[in-house]
Amino acid sequence: MDSNFSQLIEAGATIVTPTKRLSRHLSYQYAQEKIKKKTSWITPDFLPWEGWCKNIFDKLLFSTNEPRILLNSFQQQWLWEKIIRNSKYSNRLLRIDKTSKSSINCYKLCKEWGIPIFPEDIDLTEDANAFKEWVSMYEGEKNNNCWLDDACLPDYIISHFDNITFRSKKITFYGFDQLTKQQSKIKELLIDLNMYIDLPILKDRHQTIAFSSQNDLDSEIHAAACWAKEKIKENNNVTIGIIFSNINKIRGKLEYGFSSVLTPEKFTKPEVTFLKPYSISMGKPLSTYPLIHIAINLLS
């Protein structure tokens, strides 16, 4: 972990990350660093973006007199499904639950980037008209009941920023490839209040970018494993991330491809247990485990 970053954490700054996974990873890294030094430490404040926004909302509840209720993901899903099911378009939809999830993602994307949901006086397709009608009903339900959702929570925080009472604490955003319009506005407000700290750009990142074309998936996996092996030889402490789509569908190929390159001895010595130098971040679905599969069959 970078020394400047460690000092910032020790000073009590809040580190906001784009995902829960990155928050957990940073917390683990920091803990390992302290364990090596054999020192005790206060749990650092690593929060994913949505968790940080909800934390701010909880604090704003005590400084504002507005009776706002923040809907959780299940409540938002239920509300969207109710609106879509009661609309004139419901008979034409095969999977209302899938349609509601797509609508939630689209609505959130529009709010994140400040995109108007179809201005007036433009011709729309039937799908666009349906979405516009659902959004109107959804926002009407929220306004009538003083509800908030994840998509509009950052806008609520922006409009109530003057009520924030914890201005002495420093905050930084870490690991974001690109800030959305909502995130950029909040960052600007934090800078104005002298609460935001910019992290120095690490010089050893993104030094080279290369492109490689492979004939098929097996060749792609093998090439990625060979590249990772070369990087590990150069620096045994390096952390490498490799991205594949549809991991659960190709899990067997990934396991075989990486183990044949990184731990080939496991195939010649089956009686010995070798520690894997890699892990697949996405776990297996519960339904693939024999005991769970049997339980599901019994319940059905």
At residue 269, the 3 state secondary structure works out as coil
Quote the pLDDT of residue 122: 83
Quote the pLDDT of residue 67: 87
**Which are the contacts of 196, defined by CB distance < 8 A and separation ≥ 6?**
170, 171, 172, 187, 190
Residue 206 has pLDDT above 70, yes or no: no
Residue 202 has pLDDT above 70, yes or no: no
Tally of CA atoms within 13 A in the half-sphere of 247 that contains its CB: 11
Average pLDDT score over residue span 271-287:
84
Judge contact between 52 and 150, C-beta under 8 A. no
Which alpha helices (H) appear in the chain, and where do they start and end? 3-10, 20-37, 49-60, 73-85, 96-112, 126-145, 153-159, 181-192, 217-234, 251-262, 290-299
Per-residue pLDDT band at 176 (split at 50, 70, 90): very high
66-70, 140-144, 184-188, 235-239: the lowest-pLDDT one:
235-239
CA distance 16 to 53: 10
More confident residue, 60 or 2: 60
Average pLDDT score over residue span 86-112:
96
Residue 201 has pLDDT above 80, yes or no: no
Query: What pTM did the predictor assign?
Result: 0.80
Give pLDDT tens digits for 10-32. 888 999 999 998 999 999 999 99
Per-residue pLDDT band at 167 (split at 50, 70, 90): low
Give pLDDT tens digits for 101-157. 999 999 999 999 999 998 887 889 999 999 999 999 999 999 999 999 999 999 999
Per-residue pLDDT band at 79 (split at 50, 70, 90): very high
Average pLDDT score over residue span 75-90:
97
CA geometry: angle 116, 75, 177, nearest 5 deg: 50
Judge contact between 12 and 45, C-beta under 8 A. yes
Residue 161 has pLDDT above 80, yes or no: yes
CA distance 137 to 142: 9
Mean residue pLDDT across the chain:
91
Give pLDDT tens digits for 220-253. 999 999 999 999 999 988 889 999 998 989 999 9
Residue 35 has pLDDT above 90, yes or no: yes
CA distance 184 to 198: 13
